[in-house]
Chains A and B, each alone.
Chain A
Amino acid sequence: MGSEDIEQLLETARFKHLSEATLVSYRDNQLDRIGFALADAHLKLCLICDRKLTILKGEAEARESYEVTEEDHAANEQFVRDLKPGRKVGLYVQKEIKRFKSYVTDLLNSWIVLHSMEPVRGSEDGDEIWRYESEDGLLTAWAILEKKTADLTVHFSSSELSWEGIRMRFRLGQFIKEVTLEREGDDRVAAKIRIPRRSRARKMKDISIDVL
């Protein structure tokens, strides 16, 4: 490393596109003399960053002059009311439901594949007979064959808090139950479904979950 590196470093510095954070700092006069010079030199060369700065200046002016209307305030209040559990924030909830459905499809495949091969029994009552974890770890589900009663309990758990309030219709054979994902502690939503022994399906792969 020598003079060429310094020359190159100085030469290339002014050609690098500015980050949005730098552009915002430049717009708000929050850069020191050197930072300002570097940004300013690039802005004199680059059409793209120059236009980005124009848009950011427009943003600052718009924010400075904007007066919140009664309609804005009412719509904001409505948004917050809709955030309460059990209420739906139209577009957002639809998207989250769609997203949740894709996880459920994957989960069902995992269940069906397991129960298509051979009867699944726990080595002892109280065993976990099935477990699913999505690739990203966001949704976990497992089934426990309860000790003594031989009831089956299916658990769902996720760290995705925006799924709170999502309802599912769970069906296993003739057994149908609706459940809601509810907050469990600060960082999880969960639901569980208990299927009594007498209601357990013979064909365990006969399962469906409808996201409501």
Chain B
Amino acid sequence: MEAENKKSSRCTDELDRELVTLYRRGKESAFVSLLDLHISLIRYWVRVVLLKAYWANPDDLVQEGRIGLWETAKVFDVSREGNFDAWARRSCIGRMFDSAEVSLIKRALRKRLKRVATTQDELMKQLGRMPTLEELAKATNLSVEQVDATLNALAAFTLPIDDADGSVANEDPYQSQLLGDALNQLTEDQSEVIIRYHFYGHELKEIAKALGKSNENVRQIHKRAKQKLRDIIYGKGNRRDGIRGH
């Protein structure tokens, strides 16, 4: 198996768990195999990090990634659900971002990152579409190149920026789950109309045309879908007349 791993860096959750278990039982070669399986991840993120923190030592970053994997292997609960790779990924990347050389960039770019992120959010809401680089540059008083570079930094430095800066409205997993569960209880037509109208911003008549239904039919589907969502999410008694149920 280990020889096989040397040739390929493809991993599966079952294999990860097996190797973690073997390592914890004292088989050191199992952790070497685990490292072999995840070295591609570590090397990719070292490349991403070096694009911005070009002064960092790549060998040190790779070592940080290895330590991240080792820390995950020590604490990961193999008896429970949860993807080892996802945990390891966060730990490896997190260690690189937290290293002294890389964390410099967070401080250096902090103001600009926040400015671009906040402005992007405002424009996204105002325009109801993805803003162009030029629009973002104009709104932030930066050049297009500066905006482009800052967006790349924002995208690459996912973990620390999200953690450090609460100004950006991030997905609330519970709310997403609640909404997703509620939408899944609608009929296919109802959820399709809600998705197209509210998520993609299509007009009702466009939706009617796409679904091959009359405008009035789609309007009724939309109305019923919203009422049903309201009943599912807030309870049946919360009606439009404001009288709350039990």
Contacts and interface: CB of A to CB of B under 8 A. Distances in A.
A81 B31 CA distance: 10
A22 B121 CA distance: 19
B199 A38 contact: yes
A34 B194 CA distance: 10
B155 A58 contact: no
A24 B158 CA distance: 13
Majority secondary structure of chain B interface residues (helix, strand, loop or mixed): helix
A16 B40 contact: no
Interface string B215-240: 00000000000100110011000111
Contacts of A72: 36, 39, 43
Interface stretch (A2-10, A114-122, A189-197): A2-10
Contacts of B131: 47
Interface in A1-35: 1-3, 5-7, 9-22, 24, 32-35
Contacts of B171: 16-19, 22
Interface stretch (A60-68, A128-136, A171-179, A204-212): A60-68
Contacts of A79: 35, 63, 66, 70
Contacts of A77: 32
Given A6-B233, A13-B199, A46-B120, A91 B64 contact: yes
Majority secondary structure of chain A interface residues (helix, strand, loop or mixed): helix
A80 B31 contact: yes
B14 interface: no
A14 B183 CA distance: 14
Contacts of A92: 63, 67
Contact of A1 (B36, B44, B238): B238
A55 interface: yes
Interface size class, chain A: 35 or more
B121 A34 contact: no
B52 to A, nearest CB: 12
Contact of B173 (A19, A45, A48): A19
Given A13-B179, A15-B169, A62-B44, A46 B155 contact: no
B168 interface: yes
A109 interface: no
A44 B130 contact: yes
Interface string B128-156: 11110100100000000000000110111
Interface string B157-174: 011000000001111110
Contacts of B121: 15
Interface of B: 5-10, 28-29, 31-32, 35-36, 39-41, 43-45, 47-48, 60, 62-64, 66-67, 70, 74, 86, 90, 117, 120-121, 124-125, 128-131, 133, 136, 151-152, 154-156, 158-159, 168-173, 175-176, 179-180, 183-184, 191, 194-195, 198-200, 226, 229-230, 233-234, 238-240, 242, 244
Given A3-B240, A32-B184, A37-B200, 15 more contacts: A1-B238, A3-B230, A6-B233, A13-B176, A16-B176, A20-B158, A22-B171, A22-B176, A47-B130, A47-B133, A48-B155, A51-B152, A59-B41, A66-B39, A72-B39
8 contacts: A5-B234, A15-B124, A20-B159, A21-B86, A66-B43, A75-B62, A76-B35, A76-B66
Interface of A: 1-3, 5-7, 9-22, 24, 32-35, 37-38, 40-41, 44-48, 50-52, 54-55, 58-59, 62-64, 66-68, 72-73, 75-77, 79-81, 83, 89-92, 161
